[in-house]
């Protein structure tokens, strides 16, 4: 029998007590209520309500498990009953979190989950589009049919570009929107701030990383480099956190009569300056360090460079500055016509997907299974963000570390086998097409890829699934 969402919402508000609820929000499976007094809520009464699968209290939130496809509908009804639909919380009245149940690092990791769960569908879809594009629009593949990319109509290429580039071109806007939502700011300001960070007026980060593009950073005061945030995650997340907190602070001190004018103006002005002049340049320095480290690693003997790079790539992706890899790949291709970085990127992506698959198969949470399979395929097609942020670091970094260990081992093997691609931009399963130029290279790539998946899956299955994934009460 179908759940009466309105009735469920009414009963939840009645049992929890509307006056006790500060605000409400939701994630993939849980209705999250910021409450004044957790002790006044009788869990057994809440659990009797139709559709409720369990309850628990964590991160200052009374969380009611309703399940995928139900929670959003119940949330809508809760808001209709007059409950504030916001993640905003009043620290002076909220019951303090039990510090014994976690630490600051785990709370930061949980922020990633709260921010990225709502945008996972877009990233997974883009991963599938990119995988399809990589497999079809590739000279190596098209050569089998006596044609090439140049023969494809411009209209088709444009259509494919729109499908595959939009999400990551405007990823900071999605991240800022979701971060503002989670931290109680105005989501529309988050979207606008994110769009400003990828404004066409700013030098495109990917073009800056391409030495052949001729695009250079804008130098503020002659020494502070300013570029766009295309494809960036962590810088946009930091900007979103600071921006939402700044907005809430301004609303407390700015008179109501000018709040609607002054608060958005000051929030966007201050955050844009801070993002471009401070946060951006800091990550630009990080990029340069990574560039130096990778170039040095490639020169190491006995395949050690593959071990280091294979292990470290996933962590570089988390920082959001992984587009620096384009610079190295393009430089290598220009100098030697071969790309030894590609197999290392591929094993990292395959390992991340395999770790995600291990968690998805082993977890007792249905919502994780539903998301995990799509995220796994996306990672194997070259887009790892859904697997990383949606699954592998959702409750700690064990799955990500296990995948990184496997990628380090097989990255070493890839270097010993001297695996080299003939292009860049395509990894994982579609990346196979970059090795068909030589039988030994093709067999070597496929063998390393299979070994990576098996090794990452096994290590994660036995050692890397966080205990939170085995809790049935969050299914």
Q: Which two tokens stand for residue 241?
A: 């956190």
Which among 27, 176, 356, 402 is annotated as catalytic? Answer: 27
Distance CA 167, CA 22 (A): 34
**Length of the chain as a residue count:** 475
The DSSP symbol for 219 reads: E
Q: Where are the alpha helices (DSSP H) in 170-233?
A: 171-182, 187-197, 205-208
Q: Which residues pair with 55 in a beta bridge?
A: 64
Distance CA 331, CA 337 (A): 9
The DSSP symbol for 212 reads: T
Distance CA 84, CA 79 (A): 6
Please give the helix or strand (H or E) that residue 351 lies within, else none: helix 342-362
Distance CA 227, CA 84 (A): 38
Q: What is the dihedral of CA 73, 387, 287, 211, to 10 degrees?
A: -100
Cα of first residue to Cα of last residue in the chain, in angstroms, is 19
| 30-35 vs 224-226, strand pairing mode | unpaired
98: number of Cβ within 10 Å: 11
109 to 247, 379, 395: CA distances (angstroms): 23, 20, 7
Are 405 and 374 in contact by the 8 Å Cβ rule? The answer is: no
Distance CA 360, CA 349 (A): 16
Distance CA 181, CA 234 (A): 16
459: number of Cβ within 10 Å: 23
Please give the helix or strand (H or E) that residue 56 lies within, else none: strand 54-58
Distance of CA 7 to the CA centre of its chain: 35
Residue 356 is among the residues annotated as catalytic for this protein: no
Are 84 and 23 in contact by the 8 Å Cβ rule? The answer is: yes
Radius of gyration of the chain measured on its C-alpha atoms: 24
Q: Where are the alpha helices (DSSP H) in 363-463?
A: 366-380, 385-387, 398-416, 439-459
User: Which residues are designated catalytic?
Assistant: 27
């Amino acid at each position: 029998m179908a759940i009466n969402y309105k009735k469920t919402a009414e009963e939840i508000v009645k049992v929890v007590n509307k006056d006790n609820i500060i605000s409400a929000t939701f994630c993939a499976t849980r209705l999250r209520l910021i409450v004044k007094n957790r002790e006044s809520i009788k869990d057994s009464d809440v659990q009797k309500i139709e559709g409720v699968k369990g309850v628990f209290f964590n991160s200052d939130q009374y969380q009611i498990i309703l399940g995928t496809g139900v929670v959003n509908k119940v949330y809508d009804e809760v808001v209709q009953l007059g409950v504030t639909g916001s993640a905003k919380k009043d620290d002076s009245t909220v019951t303090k979190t039990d510090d014994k149940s976690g630490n600051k690092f785990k709370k930061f990791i949980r922020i990633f989950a709260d921010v990225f769960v709502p945008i996972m569908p877009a990233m997974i879809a883009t991963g599938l589009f990119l995988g399809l594009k990589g497999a079809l629009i590739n000279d190596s593949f098209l050569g089998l049919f006596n044609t090439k990319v140049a023969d494809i109509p411009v209209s088709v290429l444009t259509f494919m570009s729109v499908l595959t580039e939009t999400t990551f071109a405007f990823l900071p806007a999605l991240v800022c929107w979701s971060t503002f939502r989670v931290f109680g700011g105005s989501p529309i300001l988050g979207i606008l701030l994110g769009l400003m960070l990828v404004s066409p007026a700013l030098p495109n980060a990917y073009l800056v990383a391409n030495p052949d593009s001729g695009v250079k950073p804008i130098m503020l005061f002659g020494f502070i480099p300013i570029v766009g945030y295309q494809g960036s995650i962590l810088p946009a997340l930091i900007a979103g956190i600071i921006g939402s907190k700044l907005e809430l602070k301004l609303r407390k001190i700015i008179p109501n009569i000018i709040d609607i004018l002054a608060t958005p103006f000051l929030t966007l002005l201050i955050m844009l300056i801070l993002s471009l002049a401070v946060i951006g340049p800091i990550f630009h320095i990080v990029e340069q360090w990574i560039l130096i480290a990778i170039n040095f690693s490639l020169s190491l003997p006995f395949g050690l460079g593959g071990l280091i790079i294979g292990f470290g790539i996933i962590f570089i992706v988390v920082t959001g500055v992984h587009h620096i890899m384009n610079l190295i790949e393009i430089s290598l291709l220009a100098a030697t016509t071969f790309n030894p970085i590609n197999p290392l990127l591929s094993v990292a992506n395959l390992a991340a997907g395999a770790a995600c698959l291990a968690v998805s198969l082993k977890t007792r949470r249905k919502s994780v299974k539903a998301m995990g399979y799509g995220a796994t395929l996306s990672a194997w097609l070259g887009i790892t963000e859904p697997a990383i942020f949606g699954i592998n670091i959702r409750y700690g970094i064990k799955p990500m570390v296990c995948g990184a260990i496997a990628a380090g081992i097989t990255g070493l093997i890839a270097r010993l086998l001297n695996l080299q691609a003939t292009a860049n931009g395509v990894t994982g399963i579609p990346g196979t097409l970059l090795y068909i130029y030589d039988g030994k290279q093709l067999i070597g790539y496929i063998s390393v890829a299979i070994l990576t998946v098996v090794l990452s899956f096994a290590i994660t299955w036995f050692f890397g699934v966080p205990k939170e994934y085995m809790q049935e009460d969050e299914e």
